């Protein structure tokens, strides 16, 4: 079970080889074009690309391959659905087609940076995507240096919020995840929280985030970090039970997850206290085994979490149920269309259009906080029902954007 790495805890990512591969796809304009008379705004006339029908070029740099390819696949499906939704199916702003080029970064920051530089060199003024947090943290400075708009995607690192004026996000951030976890215990003051995680950079980062966020609300936070090579978890599950915590926060990734959850269940941990973890994509749900229905989940999104016009449009557009990162692509498209509608090809005008913008999307009501570009949005409590491969997520509670709003983060520049 993978829960996102939080809050400015890993500001740098190891750089890999310089090999990169560009895979362009171009959005075809709909035959049903908007009426040409008077359809361009003054902003478009002043700031648009050369020629009345010249395209606005958007570069999507995301994981088409690599460890997070499944996340990237959801992002891009959501993006195209959102683009159709925001443009009424035309994929145009006035008479200007939106021309989209997709690039596979394979989760490699160096490939992403090289691709961003290439696209910017070709005249692109909007870059979006960033499935991986390490990628997003490397692309954000490139956007600032070159004064182009960057809208990060599923990458959950808190470091994107407040990075610079040119950087926005279309997904949630880790602080919102941790605040959602905290909501399962009411007022944390005076209560005990145990972080049960692997003794890896991933687990340590989550332990630090819970300590900072929930500990900062008055809870006593302890960590039980399990060596990454452990295959038998009975002893560690017994230690978790003996901790007598009011809430156990589990951060786990990898193939040992089924054995870990089975041990927690068999040792009575799940029955003794509230155990919370993040709900990942649907394909991972069977890894919880019989324990799945006894766990409380914080959720960025799942199919059925909301009933909005945007969620209905998304459901109609994709093949299968809405999954975790479909909303991030959908929202990115809405943000890009709004920026272009209001700002044309002028990046400063696009930034001004997005700052403070309130809009409705898949999850409900969103707001781009002007001071640091945090994307305020609802989050969800959920439980799984059913068994085996037939698990379904059931909404327990929706938390408002303000209930899980991260603290303001001044721009680093």
Sequence-distant (6+) residues with CB within 8 A of 231 are 256, 259
Is residue 196 very low, low, confident or very high in pLDDT (cuts 50, 70, 90)?
Answer: very high
Task: Return the pLDDT at 413.
Answer: 55
Task: Return the pLDDT at 388.
Answer: 80
Spell out the CATH class of 21-172+306-377.
Answer: alpha beta
What 3-state DSSP class applies to 380?
A: strand
Q: Do domains 21-172+306-377 and 176-299+380-399 have the same CATH topology?
A: yes
Percentage of the chain surpassing pLDDT 90? 80
> pLDDT digit string (tens) for 13-26?
333 333 233 333 33
- Lowest pLDDT segment from 55-69, 144-158, 250-264: 250-264
Most confident region among 6-20, 25-39, 204-218 by mean pLDDT: 204-218
Q: Is the pLDDT of residue 50 over 80?
A: no
| In the chain, where the domains are located | 21-172+306-377, 176-299+380-399
Distances from the Cα of 165 to the Cα of 68, 79, 117, 135, 263, angstroms: 27, 23, 18, 18, 47
**Tokens 């766990």 found at:** 295
Question: Looking at residues 297-319, what average pLDDT do you find?
Answer: 97
- Sign for the CA dihedral angle at 340, 342, 344, 349 comes to negative
**Tokens 């994981």 found at:** 63
> pLDDT digit string (tens) for 177-190?
999 999 999 899 99
Q: Domain 176-299+380-399: what homologous superfamily?
A: Response regulator (3.40.50.2300)
Q: Please tell me the pTM assigned to this model.
A: 0.85
Conformational region of residue 333, where left means phi above 0, alpha means psi within -120 to 50, and beta covers everything else: alpha
> How would you class 222 by CB atoms within 10 Å of its CB: exposed for 0-12, middle for 13-18, buried for 19 or more?
middle
Residue 169 pairs in a beta bridge with: 152
Q: Is the pLDDT of residue 27 over 50?
A: no
Distance of alpha carbon 288 from alpha carbon 294, whole angstroms: 10
Q: Is the pLDDT of residue 157 over 80?
A: yes
> pLDDT digit string (tens) for 84-112?
999 999 999 999 999 999 999 999 999 99
> pLDDT digit string (tens) for 124-142?
999 999 999 999 999 999 9
Distance of alpha carbon 174 from alpha carbon 156, whole angstroms: 5
SS3 string, 293-321, reads HHCEEEECCCCCCCCCHHHHHHHHHCCCC
Task: Return the pLDDT at 357.
Answer: 98
For the residues of 349-363, what is the DSSP string, one character each?
HHHHHHTT-EEE-SS
> pLDDT digit string (tens) for 111-128?
999 999 999 999 999 999
Question: Looking at residues 390-400, what average pLDDT do you find?
Answer: 96
Distance of alpha carbon 58 from alpha carbon 62, whole angstroms: 13
Taking a C-beta distance cutoff of 8 angstroms, is the pair 254, 226 a contact? no
Is residue 355 very low, low, confident or very high in pLDDT (cuts 50, 70, 90)?
Answer: very high
Dig out the tokens for 77 from the structure: 């499906």
């Amino acid at each position: 079970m993978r829960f996102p790495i939080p809050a400015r805890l890993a500001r740098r990512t190891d750089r890999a080889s310089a090999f990169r591969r560009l895979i362009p796809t171009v959005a075809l304009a709909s035959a049903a074009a908007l009426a040409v008379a008077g359809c361009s705004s003054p902003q478009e006339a002043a700031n648009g690309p050369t020629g009345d029908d010249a395209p606005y070029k958007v570069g999507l740099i995301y994981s088409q391959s690599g460890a997070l390819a499944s996340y990237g696949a959801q992002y891009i499906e959501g993006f195209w659905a959102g683009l159709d939704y925001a443009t009424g199916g035309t994929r145009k702003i006035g008479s200007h087609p939106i021309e989209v080029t997709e690039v596979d970064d394979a989760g490699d920051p160096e490939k992403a940076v090289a691709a961003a530089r290439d696209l910017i060199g070709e005249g692109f003024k909007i870059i979006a995507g960033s499935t991986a947090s390490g990628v997003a943290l490397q692309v954000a400075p490139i956007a600032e240096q070159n004064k182009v708009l960057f809208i990060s995607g599923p990458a959950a690192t808190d470091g994107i919020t407040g990075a610079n004026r040119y950087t926005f996000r279309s997904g949630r951030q880790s602080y919102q995840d941790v605040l959602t976890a905290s909501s399962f215990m009411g007022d944390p003051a005076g209560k005990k929280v145990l972080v049960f995680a692997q003794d890896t950079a991933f687990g340590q980062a989550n332990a630090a985030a819970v300590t900072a966020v929930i500990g900062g609300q008055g809870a006593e936070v302890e960590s039980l970090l399990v060596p990454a090579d452990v295959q038998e978890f009975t002893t560690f599950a017994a230690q978790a039970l003996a901790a007598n915590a009011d809430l156990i926060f589990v951060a786990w990734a990898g193939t040992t997850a089924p054995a870990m959850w089975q041990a927690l269940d068999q040792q009575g941990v799940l029955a003794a206290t509230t155990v919370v973890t993040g709900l990942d994509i649907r394909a991972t749900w069977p890894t919880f085994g019989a324990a799945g229905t006894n766990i409380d989940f914080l959720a960025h999104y799942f199919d059925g979490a909301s009933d909005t016009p945007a969620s209905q449009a998304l459901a109609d557009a994709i093949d299968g149920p809405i999954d975790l990162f479909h909303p991030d692509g959908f929202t990115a498209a809405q943000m890009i269309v709004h920026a272009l509608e209001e700002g044309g090809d002028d990046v400063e005008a696009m930034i001004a259009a997005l700052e403070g913008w309130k809009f409705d999307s898949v999850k409900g009501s969103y707001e781009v906080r002007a001071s640091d570009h945090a994307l305020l949005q609802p989050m969800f409590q959920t439980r799984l029902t059913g068994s085996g491969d037939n698990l379904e997520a059931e909404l327990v509670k929706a938390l408002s954007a303000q209930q899980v709003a991260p603290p303001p983060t001044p721009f680093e520049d």
